Amino acid sequence: MYEAIPSQKRGILFFTAIVIAFMQGGIWSAHRQAADNFPDNTLVSTTTRYLSFGWSNSRPTIKEHPISKLMADAEAAFREKLSRQSRSLEDAVAEYQRRYNRKPPRGFDEWWKFAQENNVLMTDEYDNIHEDLAPFWDITGEQLRWRAAIAGHLPFVDVVRVRDGKATAVNILDGDESEDVSARTNGFLSIVKDFQDKLPDLDFPINGMAEGRVLIPWERQIRSNETVQLNIDAIVAELSGSFDADWHGEGNVWEAFRRTCPPGTAARQLFSSFRALQSSVNQTSRLTASSDDFDFATGTAGNYSFCSNPWAHYNQGHFFSDWRTTGAIFPIFSPAKASGFFDIRIPSHYYYAQTRRYTYGWDPVNLQLKDVDDMETPWEEKSDKVFWRGASTGGGSSPPGFAAQYQRHRFVRLASDQSSGNRTIVFADPPGSTNYVYADVPVGALNDEIMDVAFVKVVGSHNFPGGHDAMVRFHRIDDGGVNLGDHWKHKYVVDLDGMGYSGRFFSFMESDSVVLKATVYREFFSDWLQPWLHYIPLSQSYAEIYNIHAFFSGATEATLRAANATAPTDSAERRGAKSIDGDRRLRRIARAGKQWKRTMGRRVDMEAYIYRLCLEYARLASDDRDAMSFSL
């Protein structure tokens, strides 16, 4: 029957089989897990039917692996973005007006001079600033200033003040405007001081926590000046009562978040704000089965909506944060924000500061930054294993009992799995060729061969079902701990969200290793970075990680054994061989990431971002915004 199919159609069918095989193995989704729970899934049965063509003695070839195209497209997209950046002030003003349909803010010419003197390459990509500040165009400058003043009275919110050209940081709630402020606030202050003399009097409320703080109920979201006073009245009433910093069992982030969804969405129709833990565990396969919504070209969740898919919130720890959000629009400056939040993004103090825990190449003895970290390992000596170490953080405990589904816990369990289940692995046969075959490989053997993943510190075990004993039993724990430099011994370094965004991302990027990043957060640099060129994006299911490793590092021993059981190899010499082409491509990503960090992720690039953000914010806080605009 197979031989009766014309060769051209065989190639098309095989290519389709490869694509669907990757979907099954995780590149676009995890349909094998879906099949276990939804046996009538027609796509899964179709996949199984296509897979039968793969083991024919006449193995067709495909011209290009999906990852090859993702990499090529990423490089072309980023090259095009760089090439179109403005090269003169006149060009920058014209591009600004084209994008935002308004003039740049006053001081734009001085910002441009700063950017040119410091070789800032991204001169136009500041859409994040305009997205974050957009809600404040619907209120007056006086109202914005009033909101900024009120925000300073919220728990764990400090204020960076600019008065007469000098910036200071205070904590209002500590009494007498204490200077005992958070590290995040001090980080922002350090940046602002570089151009404080160019700013009018302003208040910048700085979030002292890693988690986002502003979630506006759909009914309160600002649509016109007519609704502004209603929002003010609501928050004043809230602050005049007992606005605790912690939820204290009286709600959680999910309850606040789902109120931001439009009426009629599934999240707004929930009978309760949360379900039993067993229900959330059962939903895990549904989350993985829906990872088609993850866009691997952009490294984002695409059009995925927690409002439409409320069950998926059980798998993200930030929905269970202990720290209370506010339901009115305040200008609160935070290092990152997840979908639905209204915080204003600023660079993390972990990125800007220079410390042993978060900075690549930092010499804590001589207090100097080195081009090459003392613990950096030559590429040829790096391990091919996927490496991750971290604490068992990932979410709060409001309500308790959901930690098993937090992002870090799920990844450690995936990498520690020794069950009898299989993963569908696609690999080149022979190595370096464009002939791809696939095999169902025992997951335990795969994890032994390619995973080096563990918790180094057990925290929040009271929030884990079964307590400390259960957490230790179901997750690998490495009591030895690691230094930041220990990561550089591995080609694959995984970066995962913790209680909030990951503070190690910039240090990982500057190493000569490849970052595999999974996150639900958006940070200030998202317009400047290109997935599949500077790093490898991971979906929230992580299931594609096995096929990513197979593409770059070749088939493992377990994969070759599984393939041999069905289709004997042409030559025993290929057993254990690595893909030279794949390793070359992997190193290309490592070098591109390092180059990005040293040219676009510098401290001065963060300063340029904050400088421009401050100019925009100063105009919004002005009573005469037209007078605060810049014209050539």
Q: What is the pLDDT of residues 349-369, one digit of tens each?
A: 999 999 999 999 999 888 899
C-alpha distances (whole Å) from 294 to each of 9, 63, 76, 288, 567 are 30, 25, 21, 10, 33
Tell me: pLDDT of 567 over 80. no
- CA 105, 201, 610: angle at the middle one, nearest 5? 50
SS (H, E, C) 587-629: HHHHHHHHHHHHHCCCHHHHHHHHHHHHHHHHHHCCCCCCCCE
> pLDDT above 70 covers what percent of the chain?
78
Q: What does the pLDDT read at residue 101?
A: 97
pLDDT at 286: 31
pLDDT of 383 > 80? The answer is yes
Cis bond upstream, residue 399 (ω within 30): yes
Q: Kindly report the number of other CB atoms within 10 A of residue 370's CB atom.
A: 12
Give 425-450 pLDDT, tens digit per residue. 998 887 777 788 889 999 999 999 99
Mean residue pLDDT across the chain: 83
Cα(350)–Cα(549) distance, rounded to whole angstroms? 29
More confident call, 50 vs 625: 625
Cα–Cα distance measured from residue 540 to residue 538, given in angstroms and rounded to the nearest whole number: 7
What is the CA angle 464-211-282, rounded to 5? 40
Q: What is the pLDDT of residue 178?
A: 80
Q: How many angstroms separate the Cα of 245 from the Cα of each of 153, 317, 543?
A: 11, 18, 37
Dihedral sign computed on CA atoms, order 287, 289, 294, 297: positive
- With pLDDT > 90 as the criterion, what percentage of the chain qualifies? 61
Residue 583 reports pLDDT greater than 50: yes
Instruction: Return the domain boundaries, the chain.
Output: 7-63, 383-600
- 49 or 400: which leads in pLDDT: 400
Residue 6: the pLDDT is 46
Mean pLDDT for the stretch of residues 457-463: 84
Here the tokens at position 582 are 């794949």
Q: pLDDT-derived band of residue 34, with 50, 70 and 90 as boundaries? A: very low
Give me the pLDDT at residue 65, please. Answer: 83
Question: Which residue pairs, CB below 8 angstroms and at least 24 apart, start in 419-422?
Answer: 419/443, 419/444, 420/444, 422/32
**Nearest Cα to Cα of residue 540 among 204, 290, 307, 245:** 290
Q: Residue 293 — very low, low, confident or very high, per pLDDT cuts 50/70/90? A: low
The per-residue pLDDT for 575 is 44
Summarize the confidence of residues 416-424 as an average pLDDT: 91
The three-state secondary structure class of 530 is: coil
Range 250-266 average pLDDT: 91
